[in-house]
Structure 1
Amino acid sequence: MTGIGIILGSTRPNRKGPQVARWVLDIASRRDDADFELIDLCEHPLPHLTEPAPPMFGPSVHPHTRAWAGRVAPFDGFVIVTPEYNQSAPAVLKNAIDHVYAEWVNKAVGFVSYGVNGGVCAASQLRQLCGTLGMAAVGPQAAISLHTDFENHADFTPGNRPTAALDKVLDQVVAWSSSLAPLRRPATDTIDSEGTDHDDAERLPVTR
């Protein structure tokens, strides 16, 4: 069955992300067309990039990079739950995405963002980033407002609007993940004992 990873993209103390991510997982788990699993970046601490070669050229040499690659490689698609910090996505989230390359290629991704203005700027930046990595970013987005979807900016109380938006995100992520399956290499082919294998790195321009 199609496997979708729900990436919780905030690690700060007192973060609101777990409430939103658990809601996403709860709604998603009611479906019978895919398996869903939460990936909390707090459980996968990564330093700023310390690999001697860019991820697309590999192989990665550090255990933390190989462990992160192994965590995300088996999934067919992703839903990224992101806050918005100063009209941008969290640095820790971009760093996690930047750490690997082949594990993202030809996979679908959708966005659930939250912030004062629904986190739409953060999601927009992530769309560009994920597209550069060869991912298919779906059109629908669930944008959650701190003003209307949280009580006192603290307790998440989603209504019908964000729930309906999330359903559309999940529909598209599952559909695109299944459709892209013929283009993907098996996880066992993208990760070996030495780290990440990037045979298709030449497809992405990069400044070393």
Structure 2
Amino acid sequence: MSKPRIGIVIGSTREGRFADKPAQWIYEIAKARGDIEVELVDLRDFPLPFFDEPASPAWAPSKSDVAQKWQKKVASFDGFVFTAAEYNRAPTAVLKNAFDYAYTEWNKKAVGFVGYGGVGGARAVEHLRLIAIETQMAPVRAGVHIVWADMLPVMQGQKKLEELEHLKQSADDMLNQVAWWSKALLAARKAEAEEASIAA
């Protein structure tokens, strides 16, 4: 069976964002594994307007060209890891918006999170787990939470994420679970598609 393709999505688009550092860090760790293929996905490359379609993509095709491009990109992956900044106890608006611009493309795929902020982005990640469940994803238990005490020296250039061994352990745990569930769900989706083709 082919290796699952995992999209590592940078969940912030603002100027001067911190998100590039954890995204590149988790990408390098994931890329070094032999059991998955990974791609870094930047939401800046998909300038989605705030959701303004006539209906959810769960019910009707999107009209926006950039929305269709985004849906095609989402569909190309078997699992995901999102960087998750926390703004006012919630994820970024741009990341929630990106979730809303797809639906079936998310279904039956694993997802993990790399949160950062005052409490390691934990409250934003909790929101995202609920959103993931509503879009029929399988959020994994393990996550990475970069607390302010770790984040600040990295922002100031005094440390690198690669030097923080406790975060590496969390990253490995999360990626192990994302890889396992992505493989299992990929096999299940293939079996389901084969059954559907036989029935047709």
Query: What TM-score does the superposition give when structure 2 sets the normalisation length?
Result: 0.89
Match of 2:15 among 13, 27, 30: 13
Specify every segment of 5 or more residues in structure 2 that has no aligned partner in the other structure, as ranges.
Answer: 192-200
Matching residue of 1:147: 149
Give 2:68's aligned amino acid.
R
Report deviation, 1:185. Answer: 6.6
Deviations for 1:1-54, whole angstroms, at most 9, x for unmatched residues? Answer: 210000100011110000110001111110000000001111111001121121
Matching residue of 2:170: 165
Match of 1:113 among 112, 115, 118: 115
Report deviation, 1:153. Answer: 4.0
Higher share in strand = 1
Report deviation, 1:152. Answer: 6.6
Match of 1:133 among 135, 144, 156: 135
Matching residue of 1:27: 29
Residues 53 and 183 (structure 1), Cα distance of their counterparts in 2 relative to 1, 3 Å cut: farther
C-alpha distance in 2, partners of 1:110/1:11?
19
Give 2:81's aligned amino acid.
V
Aligned length, in residue pairs? 186
Larger RCO (CA under 8 A, 6+ residues apart): 1
C-alpha distance in 1, partners of 2:61/2:48?
17
Specify every segment of 5 or more residues in structure 1 that has no aligned partner in the other structure, as ranges.
Answer: 187-208
C-alpha distance in 2, partners of 1:93/1:85?
11
C-alpha distance in 2, partners of 1:133/1:168?
24
Deviations for 1:86-141, whole angstroms, at most 9, x for unmatched residues? Answer: 11100000000110100000000001000011110000000000011100000001
Cα RMSD of the aligned pairs, angstroms, is 1.5
Query: What TM-score does the superposition give when structure 1 sets the normalisation length?
Result: 0.85
Residues 160 and 176 (structure 1), Cα distance of their counterparts in 2 relative to 1, 3 Å cut: same
Matching residue of 1:76: 78
Kept in 2, the 8 Å contact 1:141–1:169? The answer is yes
Give 1:105's aligned amino acid.
N
C-alpha distance in 1, partners of 2:177/2:22?
19
Report deviation, 1:148. Answer: 2.3
Match of 2:94 among 89, 92, 95: 92
- Greater Cα offset, 84-93 or 59-68: 59-68
Identity %: 39
Deviations for 1:149-172, whole angstroms, at most 9, x for unmatched residues? Answer: 431743462201111000011000
Matched, 1:175 2:175: no
Report deviation, 1:182. Answer: 3.6
Higher share in helix = 2
Kept in 1, the 8 Å contact 2:146–2:167? The answer is yes
Matching residue of 1:196: none
* Partner secondary structure for residue 169 of structure 2: helix
Kept in 2, the 8 Å contact 1:105–1:184? The answer is no
Kept in 1, the 8 Å contact 2:112–2:140? The answer is yes
